[in-house]
Structure 1
Amino acid sequence: MTHRAVNRSIAALLFVLTGAVYLLTMAPTLSFWDCGEFIATARTLGVPHPPGAPLFLLTGRLFSMLPFFGDVGARVNLISVLSSAATISLTYLITVRLIILYRGTAPTDWDGAEKTAAYGGAVIGALALAFSDSFWFNAVETEVYAASSLFTAVVVWLILRWYEEYPREGHERWLLLAMYMIGLSIGVHLLSLLALFAIALAYYFRRFEVTLKSLAILALASSGLFFLIYTLIIKGIPVLLQIASWGGLLVLLSALGWAAWQTQRARMAMANTLVMSVLLIIIGYTSYGLIYVRAQAGPPINENNPSTPDAFFSYLNREQYGQMPLWPRRWSPEPLHQYHYQQYGSELDYFLSYQLDRMYLRYLGWQFIGRQDQMEGAGVDWSVLWGLPFLLGLGGAFAHFRRQWKMGLVVTALFILTGAALVVYLNQTEPQPRERDYSYVGSFFAFALWIGIGIESLWYGTVSLLKKPGSSTRLLAALVTVGLAVMLVDARMLMANYHSHDRSGNYVPWDWGWNILESCPPNAILFTNGDNDTFPLWYLQEVEGIRTDVRVVNLSLANTGWYLLQLKNTSPRGAERVSFGLTDEELRNITYVPIEPVAVSLPSRDAARALKADAERHRYTLPSAPLDTMRWELKPGLVYGGQGYLRPQDLAVYDIVTQNFGRRPLCFALTVDPDGMIGLERFLRLDGLVYRVVPLQSPDPMSFADPALLYRNLMQTYRYRNLGNPSVNIEETARRLSANYSPLFIRLALELAGSEGAALPVRDSSGHEYFVQRRVLALRVLDRATSMLPPGRYPLNPELAGSVVSLYVRLGEKDRASAYISYLEKLGSLSSPGSDPRLFFTLAQAYRALGRIDEANRVIDTLSHVLNRPGLAKEFEQMKE
């Protein structure tokens, strides 16, 4: 077989192999964070958060209509699966081309050993990227990073094709196609734009002699090219649209078309290439017209409403996020500023320690050294991958520079600009709401090229040490090198990362959204906090058509006038509009308002009657009498410089509550911080994953629950698919959010076990109501929580675990408490420095509750000795009393 046939066959095989792995591990529906928003806006051709991803949305719309997979989210997830598999194929092809370039011989002249080392090394490097932590994570969910990686790989492959074909006639077509790909990629993500400097270097090395003067010209030209694209096209075209509307854009395209025609006629090759490049980038960039057109149509999700030139300009320039100066470094929000000064000492130290080391080098280590665990904040662990991919990559980089420093510098430019340089640009503050490793996949892609080169160079170095090796010896060395690397690198990475990246069977995000929506009464207004309690709801409402009667009010977006105007004036899918007392003009210009704490009140007589009726129907006693008038203190949501302010979201929540209470149910998602509840936290009833505003003031914040309603939600309405299935991987975000269920079950069990009176009304699957003794229900609840949410998998507050032990004992079923005893025993070691004595008091109390007095005393005695506090046993007795 010819080189071309073998090379393409291996690339196709890699596409099928990695595509199959990604398909097997693909999420069966939406995932947390932006995935739900992207799927919903793709399905409805809506407008996602700035700066949008119009080409990705158009592609997502097509995939959402595929005739297979019942779940729309799974269909759109396929974009990432196919994009990632194609990126791996291109990674292989690029590595082979780099090897061809530094060998300087045609593949047709290679012997079997050379082919084995080249093809095998490229395969190993490509699979190292395929099975790396962040790339695999992006490959199995709906996000833009997989498609962005594909564009980056395509651009690099195209520039290498141009490099090989120059100066043959028609070589410019590869450059022009690369520029068009960059223009298209802007409609997905800006990552491919950073490949411009690698393109500029490759072009320079092929066309010009390397001198100090020419290098200076290269630096200016490449910076100018980046400035041209990023500032004059990406940033400038929105200005043009703002000033001259769409007519101005048509004039610009016409002028560029005329210039391309004239330079072609005059045979001005370089000028023609430059003009055509700019024209093709702009043509690719015009995918953003989708955002403007769809905003005019008013889709259900229409973030920032960029339906006017000014709003479109603001949207494309991401003005809602503020400016990001490169220096000084963005230390932190004001409350943490002094803390960071004490921790880091200087801004340079902050950059090196936090931004560069923690927010990039740690992620690089995750890919090619090993990730300590799947929890947020995980460190690097050399025992996972033994550091072999990392060491091979370093060796490959060294060998690449030694054997062909020019192309080594091209890959280095890609590696740095999509890695360390991106760290400088992003200028991230501490803390971040989530890990940001997905941002640097371009850098990991460049490093994977060096892994492939490292394998080939390892074989080359080995045979160079042999004295006149024969062809069979060279081939054997190549086979051994490649075989060992496949087992020790790729197979090890596959084994180490498969389970932790397997999303099959993980329905937590879908069920989480369902459970939140089903917690709300009909026609409710639901206040949510951020991405993970909002985007799954948008997905279910806009894609699945579930509970469209509930109007979701995202508190983060409620700080913007455009969003509040949409809540007031639009009714997506027939949902009722949200009533406001503020006028449209007041909402449009809403801002921070200085305020001192002020007493406010709200009439609630009708709601009080309804609350009494619920209590009588559900046969439970209210903790206090319902109020005909709710009175509370409205406090500033933000204090800055000694002055308190109501944030726009506080003004919006207060206005919505006063205008809608008594007419529509008002709920807060469980994840909403009390600071966002405008002082209503003592007027809330716990209904599951939401709190409902009720006219009853509890002695403690958020302590009131209706046991019948809570039982119905937790035990009969909610969905928990595969939460208790140990063979299904529940990734860190899903596991952390699912840990919210355990306290709800325990709270319900405590309510049932501590309530006196008649049996509780419960509905069967057909809707018929029957009565069950509360003790029986309490055991059902505890057993369900224990089997479905084992504390070893879903972390639980130690005091709550101790409460479960005591509750099982009180219900006469102490043998069922073993899982919680084991959990408390494994939480820490008595000899660990800084051990919290409360944990071991809790364990000792649990032992006492079970009648295991000797073990309880042993824990206290050991803790007394470790902490050198002889009186600890007496303190324990006092605490117990």
Structure 2
Amino acid sequence: MSIRTTLKRLDAFAVLSFLIPLFLYLLTLAPSVTFFDSGEFITATASLGAAHSPGYPLFINYAKPFTWLPFGSVAFRVNLATAISAGLACYGVYLLVTRLLKDEEIPGNFFRTARGFTGLCAAVTFAGTARLWLQSNHDKPYPLLAFICAVVFYLMLLWRESYDRGEERPSYVYLGAFLCGLGTGAHQIMVLMIPVYGWLIVSKNWRILFRVKEFLLALAFGILGFSIHLHLIVRALQKPLLNWGDSKNLTQFLWNMLRKGYPTVKPDRDLGLLWAQLNAFNVPNEFTVIGLALLLLGLLTFFSRQRDVVISYLIGLGSFFLVIVGYFNTPRDLIFLTEEFFTPLYLLSAVFIALGTFYLVQELAARLPAAWAEQRPLCRALLSLLMVLPLTVCLLHYQENDQHENYVAFDYASNTLKSLPEGAVLYTWGDSGAFPLWYVQGVERMREDLDLLHTPHLVFQWYLDAFPKVFNTSRLRSIPPEQIAPEDAVFVSAAEQIVKRPVYIDFSTRYSVQFSQFQPHQHGICYQLLPASQPLAPPDLDIWQIYSLRGVLGNDLFFRDLDTGKAIQIYAAAHMEAGETLLKMGFAQGLTELAAAQRIQPDLAPEINKLRQGYGVR
């Protein structure tokens, strides 16, 4: 077949449904590590290890080949892998839309491009949603999961069509089952999509439930896909750089898979909390109110045409809400973490928004004079109006997701590491306070002489095993995890280390734990633990001279993630604390520090003015 023939057969709309979203994500791609789980995922990928429970082995193995690219940092390469998976998820929307519309008729010259153009608009609309975009400009497993969910849905549609033709092909179901098992290696919420796929099968003929042989074969293929989790055991035996949970045996493997390391205390739910939890799935926020209207229109108009497909979407809503809202019962301050779980539902929502849009096109075409409907330029001009929604969604969410100059997390980590003395130990608290440091030290190989200890993990034996030189003879090894809190564990560990080496804590640890037996001496955005009896010394101001503050000064960042803003606030709060300490000790340099805090965070002006007035300074 010639290249010209191949190009003629190429579906331009399909190609664009992948390339346009990818172009958007490359424009806004983070150049390095970001906050939240970013540093952890990149470190796990670079070392082929395991991220936090349940390990994410599929995403890690998918992204690993990208780390071999000859350009950019390792973080950039993993971010690129995520952008490509997000582009594929958008292509998945196009695939579903055009498949569901393949039998729909439309008069005149509309039919030549209406289906493909509607699918393309749906793909770009999904690409511009705040949820997918936020997950696509840095390392995240959810876009990959969304693509797999779309492919399985597509396979179920193919199976239904083969069943209607009387030439049923169970291979579609077997492949779908394999991908469902495999998808759990991206995230366990893949399980919540199984009722959706199950309905697409059973709604054709409920007697299929009694096909024991085929059911067992599908289950076997699902288990085969799920075997991607053997990665956790195999790699744990190799002791990779990041080995969360250390799944070297069945006990640790189940501890990891069942997420035993997370708190289980549930809040008392009231109507306000329930509404906040439900609102984690927010179609108007992602697609605008017009998108919500088109979604409802698509569900209503296609209920009579493809009832089972519409019902499958509603089953998905029920499945996700019952588990994520009902069972998880997430505390109010952590609800934002569950927003990512709904990505597969947003993908299906984009599909039904496209169906609603196509219905409007059908109605418009039916009402146009016959002569007008045959005018190809006019039809194309009218179809171009469909781009209003995707353009609106993209413009609404572009600025807040543009991370192409986001070096805040990388600088925060490198500033911390390069300011510490040789051989020191640093205790961290909170994912965003620890994960960028893990990446910068473990992957970028900066300050490997330091020991970075994550305070919440000091209660786990598998974590102590990862630092044999530090904890070989530690008292922590003899204390069962259920009998000690992280706050007490850091006291024990710090007391053991302080007689051997300099001990430091990060800003979050400083204000998460009361160090009554130590005196925290400010060292930029870190603190050195000194004996409580030692006289108070002025903060070390020379540290600020070696800090890189890209994106911190100027307040021109619009990132959605909360911890980027928190990092900037930490810089400002550290300056402010140093200024107050210096003024208390009678040093005029305190005014300079207060001014620096106000430059970083102008809204601190009232509080800073009160401090000035308190020390008699106008």
Q: Would the TM-score normalized by the shorter structure come out above 0.5?
A: yes
Q: How many residues align?
A: 613
Instruction: Specify which of 431, 454, 458 is matched with residue 558 of structure 1.
Output: 458
Shift in Å, 1:293: 1.4
Instruction: Specify which of 478, 482, 502 is matched with residue 383 of structure 2.
Output: 482
C-alpha RMSD over aligned residues:
3.2
Shift in Å, 1:113: 1.0
Partner of 1:525: 425
Deviation sequence 1:653-696 (CA, Å, 0-9, x none): 23223322232112221112656345336x11111222211124
Which one-letter code corresponds to 1:482 in the other structure?
Answer: L
Report the more deviating stretch, 690-699 or 80-89.
Answer: 690-699
Report the more deviating stretch, 652-661 or 284-293.
Answer: 652-661
SS of 1:303's equivalent? coil
Deviation sequence 1:69-110 (CA, Å, 0-9, x none): 1x1111011121001101111201211111124x2x6xxx97
Which one-letter code corresponds to 1:560 in the other structure?
Answer: F
Is contact 1:510-1:540 (8 Å) kept?
A: yes
Instruction: Specify which of 521, 524, 531 is matched with residue 695 of structure 1.
Output: 531
For the residues of structure 2 that align with 1:478 and 1:806, how far apart are their CA atoms? 71
Partner of 1:9: 12
Bigger-Rg structure (1/2)? 1
Partner of 1:147: 144
5 Å-filtered alignment, 1:755-794, equals 785=597, 789-791=600-602
For the residues of structure 2 that align with 1:135 and 1:64, how far apart are their CA atoms? 22
For the residues of structure 2 that align with 1:422 and 1:477, how far apart are their CA atoms? 47
5 Å-filtered alignment, 1:24-423, equals 24-69=27-72, 71-101=73-103, 103=104, 111-166=108-163, 167=165, 171-206=169-204, 208=205, 214=206, 221=209, 273-321=214-262, 331-332=266-267, 344=270, 349=271, 352-356=274-278, 358-360=279-281, 363-369=282-288, 387-418=289-320, 422-423=324-325
Instruction: Specify which of 521, 524, 527 is matched with residue 685 of structure 1.
Output: 521
For the residues of structure 2 that align with 1:60 and 1:173, how far apart are their CA atoms? 28
Deviation sequence 1:380-409 (CA, Å, 0-9, x none): xxxxxxx21111111111111133323222
For the residues of structure 2 that align with 1:198 and 1:73, how far apart are their CA atoms? 35
Which one-letter code corresponds to 2:364 in the other structure?
Answer: T
Structure 1 spans left out of the alignment, 5+ residues: 209-213, 225-269, 324-329, 370-386, 572-576, 593-646, 757-773, 811-848, 850-881
What is the TM-score with the length of structure 2 in the denominator?
0.90
Shift in Å, 1:457: 0.5
Is contact 1:116-1:475 (8 Å) kept?
A: no
SS of 2:574's equivalent? helix
For the residues of structure 1 that align with 2:318 and 2:330, how far apart are their CA atoms? 17
Going from structure 1 to structure 2, the CA distance change for 1:401 and 1:705 (only over 3 Å counts) comes to: farther
For the residues of structure 1 that align with 2:569 and 2:512, how far apart are their CA atoms? 22
Instruction: Specify which of 475, 496, 505 is matched with residue 582 of structure 1.
Output: 475
Shift in Å, 1:122: 1.9
Is contact 1:128-1:389 (8 Å) kept?
A: no
Residues 1:722 and 2:551 aligned together: yes
User: Percent of aligned positions with the same letter in both sequences?
Assistant: 23
Is contact 1:463-1:477 (8 Å) kept?
A: no
Shift in Å, 1:474: 8.1
If asked which structure has higher relative contact order (CA below 8 Å, sep 6+), I would say 2
Deviation sequence 1:751-810 (CA, Å, 0-9, x none): 667766xxxxxxxxxxxxxxxxx86x66765665555x251xxx4273125546999x95
For the residues of structure 1 that align with 2:296 and 2:383, how far apart are their CA atoms? 17
Which one-letter code corresponds to 1:392 in the other structure?
Answer: L
Partner of 1:798: 606
Deviation sequence 1:30-84 (CA, Å, 0-9, x none): 1111111111011112222221111221222221111121x11110111210011
For the residues of structure 2 that align with 1:747 and 1:648, how far apart are their CA atoms? 28
For the residues of structure 2 that align with 1:583 and 1:559, how far apart are their CA atoms? 7
Is contact 1:116-1:478 (8 Å) kept?
A: no
Shift in Å, 1:472: 2.6
Is contact 1:187-1:287 (8 Å) kept?
A: yes
Is contact 2:284-2:291 (8 Å) kept?
A: no
Is contact 2:109-2:374 (8 Å) kept?
A: no
For the residues of structure 1 that align with 2:397 and 2:82, how far apart are their CA atoms? 18
Residues 1:462 and 2:459 aligned together: no
Deviation sequence 1:557-614 (CA, Å, 0-9, x none): 12323323433x2x5xxxxx24644274x14x3432xxxxxxxxxxxxxxxxxxxxxx
Which one-letter code corresponds to 2:604 in the other structure?
Answer: L
Going from structure 1 to structure 2, the CA distance change for 1:312 and 1:696 (only over 3 Å counts) comes to: closer
For the residues of structure 1 that align with 2:476 and 2:380, how far apart are their CA atoms? 75
Partner of 1:591: 482
For the residues of structure 1 that align with 2:487 and 2:563, how far apart are their CA atoms? 28
Is contact 1:513-1:540 (8 Å) kept?
A: yes
Shift in Å, 1:179: 1.6
Is contact 1:163-1:202 (8 Å) kept?
A: yes
Partner of 2:438: 538
Shift in Å, 1:5: 6.0
For the residues of structure 2 that align with 1:396 and 1:431, how far apart are their CA atoms? 34
Residues 1:492 and 2:392 aligned together: yes
SS of 1:359's equivalent? coil
For the residues of structure 1 that align with 2:199 and 2:419, how far apart are their CA atoms? 58
Is contact 2:54-2:256 (8 Å) kept?
A: yes
Shift in Å, 1:20: 0.9
Structure 2 spans left out of the alignment, 5+ residues: none
Partner of 1:444: 346
Going from structure 1 to structure 2, the CA distance change for 1:2 and 1:725 (only over 3 Å counts) comes to: farther
Is contact 2:174-2:218 (8 Å) kept?
A: yes
Shift in Å, 1:415: 4.3
Deviation sequence 1:225-274 (CA, Å, 0-9, x none): xxxxxxxxxxxxxxxxxxxxxxxxxxxxxxxxxxxxxxxxxxxxx55543
Going from structure 1 to structure 2, the CA distance change for 1:115 and 1:425 (only over 3 Å counts) comes to: farther
For the residues of structure 1 that align with 2:529 and 2:438, how far apart are their CA atoms? 22
Is contact 2:85-2:147 (8 Å) kept?
A: yes
For the residues of structure 1 that align with 2:29 and 2:515, how far apart are their CA atoms? 41
Going from structure 1 to structure 2, the CA distance change for 1:440 and 1:180 (only over 3 Å counts) comes to: same
Partner of 2:572: 742
Shift in Å, 1:350: 5.7
SS of 2:351's equivalent? helix
Shift in Å, 1:531: 0.4
Shift in Å, 1:477: 7.4
Which one-letter code corresponds to 2:261 in the other structure?
Answer: Q
Shift in Å, 1:25: 0.4
Which one-letter code corresponds to 1:690 in the other structure?
Answer: C
Is contact 2:246-2:252 (8 Å) kept?
A: yes
Partner of 1:549: 449
Going from structure 1 to structure 2, the CA distance change for 1:93 and 1:591 (only over 3 Å counts) comes to: closer
For the residues of structure 2 that align with 1:128 and 1:61, how far apart are their CA atoms? 29
Instruction: Specify which of 524, 530, 538 is matched with residue 706 of structure 1.
Output: 538
Shift in Å, 1:410: 2.7
Which one-letter code corresponds to 1:719 in the other structure?
Answer: S
SS of 1:33's equivalent? coil
SS of 1:692's equivalent? strand
Going from structure 1 to structure 2, the CA distance change for 1:203 and 1:755 (only over 3 Å counts) comes to: closer
Which one-letter code corresponds to 1:22 in the other structure?
Answer: Y
Partner of 2:334: 432
Deviation sequence 1:731-769 (CA, Å, 0-9, x none): 44202221111132234445667766xxxxxxxxxxxxx
